[in-house]
Every structure is written in C-alpha cells, then in structure tokens.
Amino acid sequence: MEEPDDSACAAACVPAYVTGGASITETKGMHCSAFPKEFCFFCTYERNASATGTESDLYGSLSDMVAHLADMSREPSAIAIHVFDAYETTVRHHIEGSPSWTKKSILRHIMYSGQFSQIVDTSVGHMLNALIARQNDALVDAATNTVIEENRKAFCDTVSTLLKWKAAQKNGLCGKSQGKKKF
C-alpha cells in the first residue's frame, strides 16, 4: 500500500510560523503517545512531591524551567534547546539506563501534551504576528500602486484578532500562568 500522500499540501502550503513541533502532516499524530518507542522524560516520570524544592527535584527543575521560559514568551524551539541541555547535563545520568531525550520529543511534549498551555498561547501570538508580516507584503498592487481591498480586509481582520488575543492574555483568559512560583 502506498504511503498517504500529503505532498499536495506540503507543496502548496507553508506555516505562517514554524513552531518546530510535530507537524500535523506527520501521519502518526503529534502527541507523545503516538511515539511509544521514543523516550519522553515528562511522560515517563512525574514530580516527586516530597522532593519539591530540593536538589533532587529533577522533574520540578525542568518543568519549572519550561514554565519560566514560556512566561518570558520564549519560542518553543528555544525552550526545547534549554530543556535538552539541562536534561543532558543535570538529569540524564540520574535516570535508569540514562536514555537520551531528543529535542523532537521535548518539543512534542511541551507543545501538545497540554502540560504547558502557555507555550501554545505564546505560539498563537507568534503565528498572528507572522501572518501580519506576510499579509503586509501583499497589500498593494505593485503595478497600479493601489491597495488590494480584499487583502486589506484580511490584514485588518488578523490585526484585530491579535489585539483581542493580547487583551485576553492580559486578562489571564488564555491560561497564562499567574502567580506561579519563580525559581
């Protein structure tokens, strides 16, 4: 049987903003559960409540790092690199079999597990900003130097969506972690 053909969209469509996470064109899915053979530290372990705040709170130190960087609106791919480095240097050798935790697996978890909803929220902002930049490129007809009305409407629509999204973020309606402990 032939592989499902997703080349039609792959050729014709590109994302406005690349999260670096799993693509919906990946036929297996985009959640950790679809990749049982790939090690995911966050899925395999959970926070050790009795170790919270201590040096042995490995899970907490990594998940707090993700939350902290997400609160700073860092890009998902940049957060994954930080997590990868921290896992390699401070966590991996404490884990049975010292499995490697790939950047792809980290991204998949932080983007799609639902554990870090603020990352998804931040990505929506990046996507809208990227859309605005791209739409801006198509606002004026180069030949006639006139505004392309249809594109202008779509552009304004994206701008007002971004403003609404920002207002919702400010009001804490998008799950942005508030009052979370800093480390």
Binding site for Zn ion (CB under 5 A): 32, 40, 42-43, 109
Smallest separation, CB 120 to Zn ion (Å): 15
Q: Which is nearer to Zn ion, 66 or 174 (CB)?
A: 66
Q: Which is nearer to Zn ion, 17 or 101 (CB)?
A: 101
Token pair 């049987």: residue: 1
95 by DSSP, 3-state: which?
A: coil
Smallest separation, CB 29 to Zn ion (Å): 12
Among residues 152, 19, 145, the alpha carbon closest in space to that of 79 is found at 19
User: What single letter denotes the amino acid at residue 50?
Assistant: S
Q: Which residues pair with 99 in a beta bridge?
A: none
Q: Which is nearer to Zn ion, 43 or 69 (CB)?
A: 43
Q: Which is nearer to Zn ion, 84 or 155 (CB)?
A: 84
Sequence-ordered list of residues with C-beta below 8 angstroms from that of 152, at least 6 positions apart, any chain: 139
Smallest separation, CB 109 to Zn ion (Å): 3
Q: Cβ atoms within 10 A of the Cβ of 57, count?
A: 18
Smallest separation, CB 113 to Zn ion (Å): 5
